[in-house]
Amino acid sequence: MNSYVDHHKILICDDSLTNVLILSKLIETEVSNTSITSLTDPRKVLPQLEQQDFDLILLDVKCQD
């Protein structure tokens, strides 16, 4: 990441807690000065976005036919 960014804010949402934990740990070890918000309930994403801005959002989206 570029050094001009003071702080990275990342939102992770996946219905699998295991996936959320793996992604969170990976990001924490690879990217310094980062705060990670993790959710396993997709219904909480929009309220979270209303509360704060994020630099990156990782979503597990499943389209249903």
Q: How confident is the model at residue 63 (pLDDT cuts 50, 70, 90)?
A: low
- 18 phi, psi to nearest 5 deg: -60, -45
The string of DSSP letters for 9-29 reads EEEEE-S-HHHHHHHHHHHHH
Q: What is the pTM of this model?
A: 0.81
Mean pLDDT, rounded, of the chain: 88
| Residue indicated by tokens 């990342």 | 10
Q: How confident is the model at residue 5 (pLDDT cuts 50, 70, 90)?
A: low
Q: CATH topology for 8-59? A: Rossmann fold (3.40.50)
Ranges of each domain in the chain:
8-59
| Residue indicated by tokens 């389209």 | 63
Q: Is the pLDDT of residue 1 over 50?
A: no
Q: Radius of gyration of the chain from Cα atoms? A: 12
Distance CA 11, CA 45 (A): 8
pLDDT digits (tens, 9 = 90+) for 24-44: 999 999 988 999 999 999 899
